[in-house]
Amino acid sequence: MSAAESETRGARRRLPPMPQAFSFIGAGLIFAATLAFTGGAGGGQILSTALTFATMYVIVGLGQMFVITTGPGNVDLSIPATIALAGAVAMTVMGGEDGSIALGLLAALGTGVAVGCFNYALIRLLQIPPIIATLSASFLVQSSAIAYGRGLRVRPPPAFADFATGRVMGVPYLAIATLLLSVLMAVLLHRTVYGRSVAAIGQNSRAAHLAGIRVDRVRFLTYVLSAVLAGLCGAVLAGFSGGSSLNMGEEYLLASIAVVVVGGSSVSGGQSNVSGLWGASLFLYLLVTMLNTFGVGAGLRYLLTGLIIIAIITLAGGPRAGRA
């Protein structure tokens, strides 16, 4: 991917050449360990399922990655609530009719735009730190989702559900669509003025301002982008799981941050990695699958998941530690 090339070029002599390699190697090792345990059975099935779920991680991870890249302190914690609200809105607008799919998707994206604007209004106008602003916004958004959904479970239109669960030669449609989305985002990040501005702000926002970058505008767009992608994820997730539910976004709070960091993007901003998101998402899903296959209990599973994420971040992030 051209993204990876330009990253390594820009970062020469400062970073390990392929920060995303860790996540892919990790995912590969875990997959191998799982297969060794099962004696090679069910490999294709595991991989296919992993691709589906990794896709969701990748969608929200893309938005979170842009936010985290704008520098220390920037993070979007309203992703789970946005997923819940957008999922409910999308399902209600579609109303089970194939003809309303496009409208429903637009409504989900529109929900994202609204949440993103609200987030940034809190951050910019009220000067609330992003972590608090997006967290408190998520309570409001989640309440809206509860009020809006009123416990109704609207089923997705058949065509949408087919798309969300369908596969071609074992590869989910979703994974193909998300791969295209990732390429688009990589282009946005590395080849547009907006993407370059995000990376510049993440390194030094004062210098970025003095280099003529409209810092506020770029940060605003970034929070909107993150919420829009969360909205998209909400619609897709609802389609995949036969209707939206209020808690379907829950696991994406930590997952969205974990895939960004494990995927080789810098926690301190300015440096991001699209392909690493895929490695990290597969890694994360396969890790849970492996522990399930081993028959590990829930408590131990969480413990091991946490420890392994810490380990991979330490390994991958080691050479970057010099930058405060």
Partner 1 sequence: MPHPTAAPPPGTPFVALAAVAKSFGAVRALRGVDLDVRSGECLGLAGHNGAGKSTLMQVLVGNVSPDEGRFTVQGEDVAGRLTVARARQAGIACVFQELSLCPNLSVLENARIRHASLKGFGWRGRAARLITRTLDEIFPGHGIAPQALVSDLPLGQRQMVEIASVFAQGDHEAPLRLVILDEPTSSLDNSVAAQLLAHVRRFVSAGGSVILISHILGEILSTCDRIAVMSDGRVVDLREAGAFTRASLVEAMGHVVSHEAGETLVSAEAGRRGAVVASATTPKGGSIRLEARRGEIVGLAGLAGHGQTSLLVLLHNAAQGRSRYAAVTGRVAFVAGDRQTDGVFPLWSIGGNVTVRSLSRLGRFGLVDPAREKRLAEEWRTRIKIRTPDMDDNILTLSGGNQQKALFARALGSDAEVILMDDPMRGVDIGTKQEVYALVRAEADKGRTFIWYTTEFDELKSCDHTYVFRSGRIVAELGRHELTEARVLQSSFEGEAA
Contact positions vs partner 1 (CB under 8 A): 6, 9-15, 187, 191-193, 196, 199-200, 203-204, 206-208, 210-214, 266, 270-271, 323
- Min dist. Cβ of residue 60 to partner 1 (A): 25
Nearer to partner 1, 153 or 323 (CB): 323
Nearer to partner 1, 10 or 17 (CB): 10
Spatial separation of the C-alpha atoms in residues 148 and 156, rounded to whole Å: 17
- Min dist. Cβ of residue 258 to partner 1 (A): 22
- Min dist. Cβ of residue 306 to partner 1 (A): 29
Nearer to partner 1, 150 or 206 (CB): 206
Residue-level length of the chain: 324
Spatial separation of the C-alpha atoms in residues 324 and 318, rounded to whole Å: 13
- Min dist. Cβ of residue 159 to partner 1 (A): 32
- Min dist. Cβ of residue 133 to partner 1 (A): 24
Nearer to partner 1, 215 or 277 (CB): 215
Spatial separation of the C-alpha atoms in residues 62 and 79, rounded to whole Å: 12
DSSP string, 193-249: HHHHHHHHHHH-HHHHHHTT--HHHHHHHHHHHHHHHHHHHHHHHHHHTTS--TTTT
Q: Collect all residues with Cβ–Cβ distance below 8 Å to 8 and sequence separation of at least 6.
A: 15, 17, 18
CA 13 to mean position of chain CA atoms: 29
Nearer to partner 1, 55 or 272 (CB): 272
